[in-house]
Amino acid sequence: MFVTGPIWTAIEITMYVVDAALLVTLVTTKRLRFRDFVLWLMLMVVMPLCGFIAYICVGPPIYKGGLKAPPHTGDGLDEIERLRQEHPEREEQLTFARALSKAGAYNYSEDNEVKYYSEGPDYFKDLLDDMGRAQSSISIECYIIRRDDLSNTFMDILIDRAIHGVQVRIMFDAYGFGNRQMKAVHELRRAGGECVMFHSIIRLLFSPRKNNRDHRKLAVIDGQVGYVGGYNVGDEYINKSKEWGHWRDGAVRFRGTQVRELQTMFAEDWKFSTKKDISRQPELFPPPKTCGKVSMQLVGGGPVNIGSNPLHIQYLTLINDSEQRVYIETPYLMPPSTLFYNLCIRAMSGTDVRIAIPDKPDHPFVYWANRYYANLLMEHGVRVYIYHNGFLHSKLLVGDAYYCSVGSGNLDERSMNLNFECNAMLYSYELGRQLEDAFLNDLQYCTEYSCEEYAKRTVLQKLKTDFSMIFYNQL
């Protein structure tokens, strides 16, 4: 039966009203930049029904009261101000820390012991060992867990610890997890553990929130040991994948006051997903121990109002405060305009800015979008390298061998505006030299890219580039 004229007219009028209400709400809640507002307005005026469907799929979400954003904004500022008064020689570092705190980063502390990992086998050996020794609690947040040997071992340890009375909580992203380990999940729940799927696509079928994924990778064991990085759980992350070969990534293990901050982040995420408040359980928050001398802050980015994402502020400040050199590794080189111009200004000012990206994509549109931005950056003096020794998944930023970032956040619109991310911000010459050495070692397996090489693209490759750029902010 065909839709009659009056019925279709009524549908159109209804959709115009709904679309207008959406646009007004998005503008008043500062969820849209002007450019995006114009694009959505054009789409909704020309095709109101298609515009509404597109919004449901990939539009900016509206969070009211339930925004998974840090409620601790500004915490620890008094301590930073005290340190600034006592240590004027560290003014730049503490000003950086103050900016992150005001943007919503977690409390700054200077009593941490930190170990950096650049190889998956080393990372998972320590993580699995710590999990296996857990006595009171294990809190894990992860984007992907495969169904393979490493993942099975990972889940077996969680089940064993739950059987022995350890509080086990694990939160997977519903899109990244799929249903790969449901049998193990059921076993874990029967053993007393708790599993949560973040942002179920079915439950959020008619909400654009399904486009906001939990991309964080973190673990807290007994409230005393924390892990933050870019590793998911699967055989490819320990170099056992024929498709990807050597997997180059990064993570940190730490002890000290920052573990309490990481547990706080997990508790906030758990409450957002389950409505259960675990922040007052003393076994999750034992008294912090002074374990080292590394200054550190955790940065938890999420789809907050445009321009105020702590991750965005972190990257901007790191690039801006680094005068001699900035080394970056990222699998997604599609920086928002502010980051793009900051990188260009640094390079044009004489700072040695180098960026390494993979030579193979893990997404069909990423390859040419990466190279499009690489070309623009190279035109302004940034040096870009293509990594050939497997897959480069590391999200590393190090400035002047002192300002260091390791975590899950990429240099793209999705990490800045859509996903929930977690980075460790480290202020340390010792770790800075380690990260610089790791970057320079990776350059041995790279070739330097050039504008001339980019200009040699075939007609088909140019079409692929143009098509990729249509969807660059969703990649």
Active site residues: 215, 217, 222, 393, 395, 400
Bridge partners of residue 398, in order along the sequence: 327, 404
What distance in Å separates the CA atoms of residue 432 and residue 401, rounded to the nearest whole number?
Answer: 4
Q: Copy the structure tokens of residue 466.
A: 């143009």
Of 164, 455, 436, nearest to 326 by C-alpha is 436
What distance in Å separates the CA atoms of residue 292 and residue 113, rounded to the nearest whole number?
Answer: 4
Q: What are phi and psi of 410, to 5 degrees?
A: -90, 170
**Structural Rg of the chain based on CA atoms:** 23
What distance in Å separates the CA atoms of residue 195 and residue 192, rounded to the nearest whole number?
Answer: 10
Bridge partners of residue 396, in order along the sequence: 329, 406
Distances 169 to 80, 123, 152, 296 between C-alpha atoms, Å: 33, 20, 17, 25
Element (H, E) at 52: helix 48-58
Burial 114-141 (b: 16+ CB within 10 A, else e): bbbbbbbeebbebbeebbeebebbbbbb
Give helix then strand counts, H and E, for the chain. Answer: 17, 18
Q: Copy the structure tokens of residue 422.
A: 């977690």
End-to-end CA distance of the chain: 39
Q: Copy the structure tokens of residue 169.
A: 């909580």
Q: What are phi and psi of 86, to 5 degrees?
A: -80, -25
Distances 427 to 96, 223, 349, 431, 440 between C-alpha atoms, Å: 10, 23, 23, 8, 20
What distance in Å separates the CA atoms of residue 451 and residue 468, rounded to the nearest whole number?
Answer: 19
CA 282 distance to own-chain centroid: 28
- Are the beta carbons of 372 and 468 closer than 8 angstroms? yes
Q: What are phi and psi of 285, to 5 degrees?
A: -130, 65
Q: Give just the sign of the alpha carbon dihedral 289, 291, 293, 295.
A: negative
Burial class (CB in 10 A: 0-12, 13-18, 19+), 427: buried
Q: Copy the structure tokens of residue 321.
A: 């405060």
Q: Copy the structure tokens of residue 110.
A: 């200077």
